[in-house]
Structure 1
Amino acid sequence: MAKIVHVVESFGAGTLSMVSAIANRQAQVGQAVTVIHSLREETPANWRALFDARIEFIQLPMVRAIKPGADWHAGRMLTQELRRIRPDVVHLHSSKAGALGRLTSVFHRGPRWFFSPHGLSFLQRAEGRLKNTVFLLIEKLLARIPVTFIACSPSEAEQIRANLTNRVEVVCNGVDLDAIPAAPGNENIVRIGTVGRVALARNPELFASIAEALRGAGVEFVWIGGGDESGETALKNAGVQLTGWVDRAEALKQLATLDIYIQTSRWEGLPVAVIEAMAAGLPVVATNVVGNRDLVKDGENGWLANDRDDFLARLVPLIESRGERQRLGAQAKAFARAHYSLDTMMENLNRVYGLTEK
């Protein structure tokens, strides 16, 4: 039985979804799993219910911003917990836990250390060129520490190799495909939507602009989730239906009521929501960014878009043709089932951890 520790500060949205899926499967096969985490504003109130009862949890006050005093304190606490647990594997998730954990690894030898960015900080174009340059410089310095990156998509791995290090393995995100209900399509209405937190990364302003241009008789837009007030205001002003935060089961139920799925992200790792939409049999139109482009193949299971006009050009024919929606949706479902199952992800992750023979 291996002892595995997951360290995550970004305890919400897609990162929480992936950490819970991984940790649950590990606990179910008899691994001793500990999750060291912080709580964020977007952490759901019932987060504990998302995890297997056998998993141990340790709350550690990591902060999102760079704060030397708080970061030193969090790093010291992390070291103390790892000395107590004595894990075989430490898996760091997202930028802040990745930074603290890699620095901790310099002083705490013994475990095999891994880092999953879940979206590279220096690719977050909305943060501004100067800030992204700072992020890249920090990552270049941290990349000298011998911790293995785990990229969640081939395109994320390409960016890591090009900018940081060759010490990277690819383990694509996966989902429990059998838990995703099919989207049968609607009569007399075309529902276009997305699932996730209303946040800067997901570019709700672009979603609102698309909805403003296309909504009307027979077409409606829905955002399954809630979040930042400014983004919610933009969506409501554009006539978008907002469900507010819902749990995963309800989100999947709502997903199955859509006809077309759109992903307006500014940046991604490998979006779980897009995989789930594909598995439900929905055609996807998504921004042409890292992660999305690993999933969406133009004209085969959906379309990539560079800007608002691209989205409009791809969505109009889909709105007009149920047959084309069904064709792309069927291809999307087959693609998700062939490549993005949770079983496949766990097999690859165990191989990278060194818990199975290569």
Structure 2
Amino acid sequence: MTKKTATSLPVVVQVVEAFGGGVFQSLSQLCNGLKDSARFVIVHDIRAETPKDFTAHFPAGTQFIHFPMGRAIKASDAKIILPLRKLLVGLKPHVVHAHSSKAGALIRLALLGTGIPRFYSPRGYSFEMVDSPRSKRAFYWLIERALGFLPATTVACGYAELKDARWVSWKSTAVPNSIDPDVVPAAKRTRPPMKKELHVVSSGRISPQKNFPLFCQVATSLAHMPIRFTWVGGGSDPLPELPSNVTVTGWLPHAEGLARLNEGHVYLHLTSWEGLSRILLEAMAHGFPLVVSNIPPNVELASAGNGFICNNAADATNAITKLFKDNALLTKMSKASLHHLETRYNWHNAARQWKALYKIQAE
């Protein structure tokens, strides 16, 4: 059978407002992993964290269209529904897939009555943002519930998010965020034995979601022990005075950030809310024991004998202390993290699921 040329492949349009961080990495992986089965068009906004060389992270031939969408859902968004509809219909897509709450709202409204199959990945629902007032979170829930009656399939990034999706959408499924473990060199898939000092790492944008103050609180409580903490990433606001055992690297390119993380023994992840964390999956692919906050997506990843689930700073402090005192436990949890990733969050499984959803297959 003759292999399809790039121009004859079905067109899959990805609409993404949150074009940075974990969403960016997941979208890049999705497009690169299915490049022999579809031709991709990325309709995107730009954020501060969008890589300057973003085009280099996608397959050759990918088309990029900058379409300003803004961050929050607001009444003035009504003005961009028709232009977005005209753009998307004109691309003659096989399917349209939106990433994040804002993009999901826009495509479900813009594509009404077109018959174009559409998918929506929340990547962490807005109504889960615990730093927002209760009234605002209720407003976001009502929006999701109302839009959930429109024809689209919600694709959750994990099984915890799928439970939320089933409350607010008429049709939902899950394709868990995933990592290809084969891209991690074998020598980097387990943690080095801890010798005189334990190195605890975390990463991401310093924001209310990531709960950097709690990270610092844990570090302060362990300042009397040979345990150091590194946060790979930065924020837009000036940092408070840091504990003596904490280092913040500032923003680094993805590969460089992973290299810094790989110097550690334990991954500390105390987020207040999110979808299924991609950086946690990358930590698992590198064999990190996990110390995580007690929210459903984190519990989903750290409940396979590979980590500790914490309700507060004291729990996290105790967990890290146990790992410091027990090298055998650290090694055991390291192996368990890698095994959990390989069996349940493996990209090769996810690729088959995406092809089935998009109804595309390589020839």
**Fold shared by both chains (TM-score > 0.5):** yes
Aligned residue for 1:317, secondary structure, equals helix
How far, CA to CA, are the matches of 2:246 and 2:262 in structure 1? 17
How far, CA to CA, are the matches of 1:240 and 1:44 in structure 2? 26
Tell me which residue corresponds to 1:282. 288
Matches within 5 A, 1:233-248: 233=240, 236-237=242-243, 239-248=245-254
Tell me which residue corresponds to 1:307. 312
Tell me which residue corresponds to 2:168. 164
Question: Post-superposition shift, 1:97?
Answer: 0.4
How far, CA to CA, are the matches of 1:294 and 1:165 in structure 2? 22
Moved >4 Å (runs of 4+):
none
Residue 321, structure 1, aligned to residue 329, structure 2: no
How far, CA to CA, are the matches of 1:42 and 1:145 in structure 2? 31
Residue 130, structure 1, aligned to residue 135, structure 2: yes
Tell me which residue corresponds to 2:145. 140
Q: Which amino acid aligns with 1:142?
A: L
Task: Identify which of 208, 212, 226 aligns with 1:204.
Answer: 212
Moved more, 306-315 or 178-187: 178-187
Moved more, 262-271 or 212-221: 212-221
Task: Identify which of 23, 35, 53 aligns with 2:42.
Answer: 35
Stretches of structure 1 that go unaligned for 5 or more consecutive residues are none
- Indicate the structure whose relative CO is greater, using CA pairs within 8 Å and at least 6 residues apart: 2
How far, CA to CA, are the matches of 1:126 and 1:346 in structure 2? 34
Q: Which amino acid aligns with 2:123?
A: H
How far, CA to CA, are the matches of 1:64 and 1:58 in structure 2? 17
Task: Identify which of 3, 23, 38 aligns with 2:11.
Answer: 3
How far, CA to CA, are the matches of 1:186 and 1:237 in structure 2? 22
Aligned residue for 2:34, secondary structure, equals helix
Task: Identify which of 228, 232, 241 aligns with 1:224.
Answer: 232
Aligned residue for 1:43, secondary structure, equals coil
Moved more, 323-332 or 207-216: 207-216
Task: Identify which of 342, 345, 358 aligns with 1:340.
Answer: 345
How far, CA to CA, are the matches of 1:82 and 1:241 in structure 2? 45
Task: Identify which of 260, 264, 286 aligns with 2:266.
Answer: 260
Stretches of structure 2 that go unaligned for 5 or more consecutive residues are 1-8
Q: Which amino acid aligns with 2:90?
A: R
Question: Post-superposition shift, 1:30?
Answer: 4.2
Q: CA RMSD in A?
A: 1.8
Tell me which residue corresponds to 1:87. 93
Q: Which amino acid aligns with 1:281?
A: G
Q: Which amino acid aligns with 1:178?
A: D
Task: Identify which of 17, 22, 25 aligns with 2:33.
Answer: 25
Aligned residue for 2:214, secondary structure, equals helix
Tell me which residue corresponds to 1:177. 181
Tell me which residue corresponds to 1:50. 57
TM-score, length-scaled by structure 2: 0.92
Aligned partners of 1:184 and 1:256 also within 8 Å: no
C-alpha distance after superposition, 1:90-137 (max 9, x if no partner): 001001101111111214x13210000001111111212111111111
Aligned partners of 1:185 and 1:258 also within 8 Å: no
Aligned length: 350
Aligned partners of 1:224 and 1:251 also within 8 Å: yes
Aligned partners of 1:215 and 1:221 also within 8 Å: no
Aligned partners of 1:34 and 1:57 also within 8 Å: yes
How far, CA to CA, are the matches of 1:263 and 1:351 in structure 2? 33
C-alpha distance after superposition, 1:284-309 (max 9, x if no partner): 011111311111116x1101112212
TM-score, length-scaled by structure 1: 0.93
Task: Identify which of 44, 58, 69 aligns with 1:62.
Answer: 69
